[in-house]
């Protein structure tokens, strides 16, 4: 687009109107001001939250005691020892 000197354009249009007897309309379009370009730093990727176990449910089935006693049978003792190893791996722990 060619820039035109506004006073010169006005003078030329006025002469043209007088010479031809025509009505001429003109619109001046002002370009919007350029906004400044601002560099915005990118945010780093957030670290994923640590994976935690909120609850762990273990069910000991058929833990057998000796008849009429509080001592475990060998199979029951193995199951309780397995359970003990599992719960010792998880901190903090609450056993109900």
Bridge partners, 93 (sequence order)? none
- Rounded distance, CA 6 to CA 12, Å? 10
pTM of this prediction exceeds 0.75: no
Average pLDDT (10-34) is 70
Give the Cα separation of 78 and 4 in Å (integer).
Answer: 97
| Domain limits, the chain | 57-95
Interval 50-94: pLDDT, tens:
776 667 777 777 777 888 888 888 888 888 888 888 888 877 767
Rounded to 5 degrees, what are φ and ψ at 64?
-95, 135
Residue 54 CA to residue 92 CA, distance in Å, equals 10
């Amino acid at each position: 687009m060619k820039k035109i000197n506004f006073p010169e354009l006005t003078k030329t249009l006025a002469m043209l109107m007088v010479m031809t007897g025509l009505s001429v309309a003109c619109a001046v379009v002002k370009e919007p001001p350029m906004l400044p370009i601002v560099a915005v730093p990118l945010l780093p990727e957030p670290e994923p939250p640590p994976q935690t176990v909120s609850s762990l449910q273990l069910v000991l089935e058929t833990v057998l005691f000796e008849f009429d006693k509080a001592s475990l049978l060998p199979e029951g003792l193995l199951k309780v020892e397995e359970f003990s190893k599992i719960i010792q791996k998880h901190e903090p722990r609450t056993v109900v």
